[in-house]
Structure 1
Amino acid sequence: MPVVSIIGRPNVGKSSLFNRLTGRREAIVDDMPGVTRDRLYGEAEWRDRKFYVVDTGGFLAKDEHAFVHGMRQQVRTALAESDVVLFMIDGREGPTWMDDDVADMLRKSGKPVIVVANKIDDSIHEDLVYQAYSLGFDEVIGISAEHKRNIYDLLDLVIEKLPKDEPMAEASSEVRVAIVGKPNVGKSSLLNYLAGEERSLVTDIPGTTRDAVDTSVTIGGVSFRLIDTAGLRRKSRIEDNIEYYSYIRTLQAIDRCDVALLLMDATEPFTDQDKKLASEISERGKGIVLLVNKWDLLGKKDELGDVMKRKLKDEMGFVSFAPLHFISALTGRGIQKVPELVLKVNGNRNSRIGTTLLNRLVRDILAFDRLPTDSRGRAFKIFYCTQAEIAPPTFIFFVNFPDLAEKAFENHMEKELRSLADFEGTPLRIFWRGKEEKSS
């Protein structure tokens, strides 16, 4: 998906606009300049187009020189990483010297820029928008992020500026594999080992690999496209602007893959960052293989392996369906099995269950399982089930009262479906659709 970045000096309303575009309330909105202390990213959709939104945040430096340097770095990073830039100013105050400085950088870039004059709360202040044309851009719009004024018109402008949707790729025999994980966890070393060459710059500095790169390799007669990423850094100081985009790069790599290899550190497994990435992979319907790297650094490996498998169920139970494998990207230990795991998971992700077998499962559930009811005496009933899609396997249950299918029952049904076929490594999608029972 394309990336839209909101840039501007502090206290112009970037976080409020981010919240409007993404429908979220994660940003702390305050009157004090620089209150947004961390990067924010989210997804937006308008007129069937999806895109990432980045709130680059504002910060208040101790001296003017540091402030200007930080602002310029923010703009440079946004220009390098974004498809469209929303240049936000205070519409009531009008352009300042810092806005002029930013505008000069934006004009030289040639990137699509929309000047967003915020705090135009009503038609009385509409004339103030014309001040923004002095910045030298054709696209200028007055909005009120707080009161939602002209937000839809702004979204229309954004859609016009986005790059055209890429045509759907033709079916390929290549299995697309994203290698994701925290910086310095061994992603590039793993890619190099699989590719048989020093494809990526590898050092001990977290975040050395900045860009996603693709490497096509053939292993055992099977073609793989390996997607490396810039990794995921723990939320850090606001000045490191390039890290605003590292997580989005990771998400874009996951979007493009069939199977994701989530690489974790044996000395620090199952961190919050690992869990977040695993959740993103599962929610996007991608296959997942959990790889624990740096296994060579630990002793009593058999005992620790059992401990980690139990810990996986306790701390990352939502992806307990994923295979857990131990490797050393440094020595190559265990890596020879990785392509085999990828192929297995990819096959499972593309598998189907016949309707006859599914409806036999429905009959067994109706006969032996305790089905949901509610306080009004409504009894849940399943009429039939069908598999609607693959990649990931998606099942539709036709029932009388879809609202009675709570999460616990859905988890139970997922367990039953997994008993019918080998779905290791792939998430399943379950939908409940209402259907009236035919009268006899």
Structure 2
Amino acid sequence: QLIVLLLPSRFSPLPISAITGTGTGELLDMVCSELRNFEGLDGVEEDENYIPAIAIVGRPNVGKSSILNALVGEDRTIVSPVSGTTRDAIDTEFTTEDGQKYKLIDTAGIRRRAAVASAGSTTETLSVKRAFRAIRRSDVVALVVEAMACITEQDYKIAERIEKEGKACVIVVNKWDTIPNKNHQSTTYYEQDVREKLRILDWAPIVYCSATHGSSVDKIISAAALVEKERSRRLGTSILNQVVREAIAFKPPPRTRGGKRGRVYYTTQAAIRPPTFVFFVNDAKLFPETYRRYMEKKLRSDAGFPGTPIRLLWRSRKRPDKKGKSADNSLQSSVIPSRMALAT
């Protein structure tokens, strides 16, 4: 069934098919382009005043405060070899040489929950909660690990929280100067170890630095700027659907024992920070977790988004009800309003 939508006079009629999804991506782009013309000035002012927040988190005594002091060029926070010196989340505004402003948030070291509970310190409990709140209100998280120390289970727990909150991330390997006899091969082995043990953040860039010597600390800001930009990026609907079609052509969804196979009608990006993509399909249950991970990897390899988590939502087409409504009408009533809501 072919539906021709009559848009304003400067547009030619746009043919679409609600059953197959043909042309619906172009339709959404046109609708969104018209909606932007009616937005007020408040949104523009908000974007102009937007200052990205970078939370510096990690286990105790990995050099979080030293990194902040090295970035701002002065001692804003107390540095001590005694772990637990920083008790509160401290906000510091920082301006780069090109005039870009950032809000740096130094946080208390995050120990294992069992260790915090056994210590019985109310102060430390509150400090850890403030550190997690700092992750929640940040745009980019710099996860700091110590070069000479092994990646621990607690590092992975913090990484899980970063991914769950949908924050962009930069893995910072501090005290890199303490590694003896460094060469390209040892750096490669170290990175492989970090990737394996922090696999939930396999999309995050890694920066090696030494805060006490000020070596390569500026690379943290450069990496943070890149991942924050990717977290706020919107992919065109036509390009997105092309990537999805190529991914499906290379590896179609698996068939069930009954011979059923998942079918993707079209895909659209519903949100940013983090980038969120909605797949409109015949039945979401026909897409197993392995195939969803494959689709996420293809999106990353073909469309980018380094340094930020992405969300994939799968929406099933509604079945015809007992009154005999067609599947096409059911699809229009369930999909079109939700897309309008996403656009607004």
Tell me the TM-score range normalised by the shorter chain. Answer: 0.7 to 0.9
Corresponding position of 2:196: 314
Unpaired segments of 5 or more residues in structure 1?
A: 1-168
The residue identity in structure 2 corresponding to 1:408 is T
Q: How does 1:38-437 map to 2 (within 5 A)?
A: 170-171=46-47, 172-220=49-97, 221-234=99-112, 235-236=114-115, 237-302=118-183, 303-435=185-317
Higher helix share: 2
The C-alpha deviation readout for 1:199-222, integer Å capped at 9, x for no partner, is 111111111010111000101211
Tell me the CA shift for residue 317 of structure 1. 1.6
The C-alpha deviation readout for 1:15-45, integer Å capped at 9, x for no partner, is xxxxxxxxxxxxxxxxxxxxxxxxxxxxxxx
CA contact (8 A) 1:269 1:292 kept: no
What secondary structure, in the 3-state scheme, does the structure 2 residue paired with 1:301 have?
Answer: coil
CA contact (8 A) 2:253 2:287 kept: no
CA contact (8 A) 2:93 2:101 kept: yes
CA contact (8 A) 1:396 1:431 kept: yes
CA contact (8 A) 1:366 1:381 kept: no
Tell me the CA shift for residue 403 of structure 1. 1.5
CA contact (8 A) 2:87 2:124 kept: no
What is the alpha-carbon distance in structure 2 between the residues aligned to residue 271 and residue 425 of structure 1?
21
Unpaired segments of 5 or more residues in structure 2?
A: 1-44, 319-326, 330-344
CA contact (8 A) 2:244 2:299 kept: no
Tell me the CA shift for residue 343 of structure 1. 0.5
Tell me the CA shift for residue 438 of structure 1. 4.6
The C-alpha deviation readout for 1:33-83, integer Å capped at 9, x for no partner, is xxxxxxxxxxxxxxxxxxxxxxxxxxxxxxxxxxxxxxxxxxxxxxxxxxx
Q: For the pair shown, which has the larger CA radius of gyration, 1 or 2?
A: 1
Identity fraction in percent: 40
What is the alpha-carbon distance in structure 2 between the residues aligned to residue 318 and residue 336 of structure 1?
25
What secondary structure, in the 3-state scheme, does the structure 1 residue paired with 2:222 have?
Answer: helix
The C-alpha deviation readout for 1:124-172, integer Å capped at 9, x for no partner, is xxxxxxxxxxxxxxxxxxxxxxxxxxxxxxxxxxxxxxxxxxxxx9543
CA contact (8 A) 2:247 2:298 kept: no
What is the alpha-carbon distance in structure 2 between the residues aligned to residue 367 and residue 435 of structure 1?
21
Tell me the CA shift for residue 276 of structure 1. 0.8
What secondary structure, in the 3-state scheme, does the structure 2 residue paired with 1:387 have?
Answer: strand
Tell me the CA shift for residue 368 of structure 1. 2.8
The residue identity in structure 1 corresponding to 2:234 is R
What secondary structure, in the 3-state scheme, does the structure 1 residue paired with 2:228 have?
Answer: helix
What secondary structure, in the 3-state scheme, does the structure 1 residue paired with 2:302 have?
Answer: coil
The C-alpha deviation readout for 1:236-272, integer Å capped at 9, x for no partner, is 2243332222321111000111100000011114211
CA contact (8 A) 1:207 1:233 kept: no
What secondary structure, in the 3-state scheme, does the structure 1 residue paired with 2:94 have?
Answer: strand
What is the alpha-carbon distance in structure 2 between the residues aligned to residue 193 and residue 340 of structure 1?
14
CA-based RMSD: 1.8
What secondary structure, in the 3-state scheme, does the structure 2 residue paired with 1:371 have?
Answer: coil
What is the alpha-carbon distance in structure 2 between the residues aligned to residue 170 and residue 368 of structure 1?
42
CA contact (8 A) 1:214 1:227 kept: yes
CA contact (8 A) 1:180 1:229 kept: yes
The residue identity in structure 2 corresponding to 1:196 is G
Number of aligned residue pairs: 271
What is the alpha-carbon distance in structure 2 between the residues aligned to residue 187 and residue 365 of structure 1?
41
- Normalising by structure 1, what TM-score? 0.59
What secondary structure, in the 3-state scheme, does the structure 2 residue paired with 1:419 have?
Answer: helix
Name the structure, 1 or 2, with higher relative contact order (CA <8 Å, separation 6+): 2
Tell me the CA shift for residue 297 of structure 1. 0.7
What secondary structure, in the 3-state scheme, does the structure 1 residue paired with 2:233 have?
Answer: coil
What is the alpha-carbon distance in structure 2 between the residues aligned to residue 392 and residue 410 of structure 1?
17
Tell me the CA shift for residue 193 of structure 1. 0.8
Corresponding position of 1:100: none
What secondary structure, in the 3-state scheme, does the structure 1 residue paired with 2:177 have?
Answer: helix
Tell me the CA shift for residue 387 of structure 1. 0.5
265-274 or 384-393, larger mean C-alpha shift? 265-274
